[in-house]
Amino acid sequence: MTRHSWAGCVFAFLCATVSIAAAQNAGDLVVDHNMPATMRDGIRLQADIYRPKGDGKYPVVLVRTPYGKAAGDPIARLITSHGYITVVQDCRGRFASEGSWYAFQNEGSDGYDSVEWAASLPGSDGRVVMWGGSYVAITQVLAAVTSPPHLVAITPWMVPSNFHEGVIYQGGALEKNVTDSWVSGVSADPVTQKPPADLHSVDFYRDWRLHPDYDEYWKLMTIDTRPEKILAPGLYLSGWYDVFISGALRDYESVSKHGNPAVQAKQRLIIGPWTHGMASSKSGDVDFGPTANPNPLLVFDWYDFILKGTANQFKTEKPVKLFVMGKNSWREEDAWPLARAQSTRYYLHSGGKANSLTGDGSLSPATPKKESSDQYVYDPSNPVSTQGGGLCCAPTPPGGAFDQRSIEQRPDVLVYTSESFKNDFEVTGNIQAEVYVRSSAVDTDLTVKVVDVSPDGYAKNLTDGILRLRYRNSMEKPEPLKPGEIYKATVAAGPTSNVFLPGHRLRVEVSSSNSPRFDSNPNTGANFDQEKNPIKATNAIFHDSEHPSAILLPVIPQ
């Protein structure tokens, strides 16, 4: 992926505004290009500054990007037309800015220094807000945890909270599709646009691979462990099919529980049915209807609420707004997670032949008694292919909601399906799976996918998760499996909000791979790209009275 196509992905949320921006009178603003901001170590970061014409003091909207400040020109003009000074700055070591770029590493200190510099610009009223999605959102939250005095609000969409869990890795497995495509794009040759032949030549990528465990390297960058440091309220936006959805929810929740009370009172959360980029009402194959279209101008209402005290929807509505799939409608909530959610177990059942859609797997609230286990062979050279879900940064495979029945034909995918629901059955919150597993290998992966099955058989993926079993007890201290021993594994299967309508069924898929989204486990205890001789693993899932494997659902009473 080239850096230009990646930049296009990042700014997708406001693509709809480009035509609006083009309609603005260019003579109503003044642009100063390549204005230097000196960081604490003497490195100068270059920015383009857009000012409304005429005298007066204005708040400053700061956008810090590794994708080239020129790409933000149409959006900067639009923001400025709403009565703001807009600063679009190249991150350290990127494009016009000095220094060496190392992903994530300097965004906290550089963000602090840039906020304080922006607050002192001629025409600034001393108040700075930040804007942007994906990596541009990362620059916001990393700045926010350094507590710059003049930062009054952030607007991060599609933002993570922990760069190990949910960005570079998930459940101990490498988010290969994200990392490889993103690093290829940002490390491409500036002239030929060709990515490096070996991604390990990129220093930060190499370090990510050298730190598969959650160690001090990652802890220094974690956001959700420092909510009390965030003194600027945030408008957090994400989508149920965004790769960073869990992180955005953790950011909001951690501030809600442990943050500054003044920040808690003003922060807001909006989650739609969107993929990474939040470009339209369509996610994958499914169009969730016109009300699901993102509103690219919402950010200005947020700024008006924070900076002007305007009594708009951010004043009058509840702080959390969720798009409930199935019903395909928006709903306001007091908090995330929902206090009224009831943890409900649906247990895995079968006669020992849950392999594929034609097997005998089922789901029900009934506790299992004496049942045979289900067994399959996971072959790293023939992994289960990725079919939608939370993806990013590469054109294929696409993210979002897709029919899973082609995946469910495989004998190495166990399929468990409930009876049809007679009434609406809502699941809103974080889903977990507790699975009892045995493997012939010293390490293997466990994947879990939650699916909504329509009466016509269409199997729409809702959310999914993965666990590299050597991390079953701790992401910090991997422990190999003892082949033949049964282990209880808890898989974070992700968040969703979905109503299973009457006639629909709940389905859970269990397997050991999801490629190319995640790297395929070679079953030897080594990383896939370091293992020359991967082996097959025979894995068994147990569901009986002593090993009651289940999916844990946050059910909302109707």
Q: Nearest CA to 493 among 434, 406, 411?
A: 434
pLDDT digits (tens, 9 = 90+) for 78-95: 999 999 999 999 999 999
Beta strand segments in 408-458, E: 414-417, 425-439, 445-453
CA distance 422 to 551: 20
Q: Are the CB atoms for 417 and 476 separated by under 8 Å?
A: no
Is residue 357 scored above 50 in pLDDT? yes
**DSSP category for residue 377:** E
pLDDT tens, 307-319?
Answer: 989 999 999 999 9
Q: Within the chain, how many helices (H) and strands (E) appear?
A: 12, 27
Question: How, if at all, do strands 374-378 and 414-417 pair?
Answer: unpaired
Q: Is the pLDDT of residue 4 over 70?
A: no
- Give residue-wise pLDDT tens across range 132-188: 999 999 999 999 999 999 999 999 999 999 999 999 999 999 999 999 999 999 999
CA-nearest of 119, 222, 39, 120 to 129 is 119
Interval 453-476: pLDDT, tens: 999 999 999 999 999 999 999 999
Q: Where does 6-333 sit in CATH, by number?
A: 3.40.50.1820
Class of domain 342-556: mainly beta
Check pLDDT > 60 for residue 3: no
What pLDDT is stored for residue 185 in this prediction? 93
- Asked if residue 397 has a cis previous peptide bond (ω within 30° of 0), the answer is yes
What are the tens digits of pLDDT across the range 181-235? 999 999 998 888 899 999 999 999 999 999 999 999 999 999 989 999 999 999 9
Helix%, strand%, coil% for the chain, nearest 5: 25, 35, 45
pLDDT at 17: 45
What pLDDT was estimated at residue 27?
A: 58
* Short-list 252, 228, 225, 203, CA closest to 104: 203
Query: Domain boundaries in the chain?
Result: 6-333, 342-556
**Confidence label for 7 from pLDDT (cuts 50, 70 and 90):** very low
The sign one gets for the Cα dihedral 18, 22, 28, 29 is: positive
296 vs 424, higher pLDDT: 424
**Do the strands 85-90 and 58-65 form a parallel or antiparallel pair, or are they unpaired?**
parallel
Phi first, then psi, for residue 512 (nearest 5°) are: -135, 10
Q: Record the pTM.
A: 0.95
In tens, the pLDDT along 236-253 reads 999 999 999 999 999 999
Q: pLDDT at position 529, please?
A: 73
H helices of 198-344, where?
203-210, 216-219, 245-258, 261-266, 298-303, 313-316
User: What are the residue numbers of the active site?
Assistant: 134, 242, 276
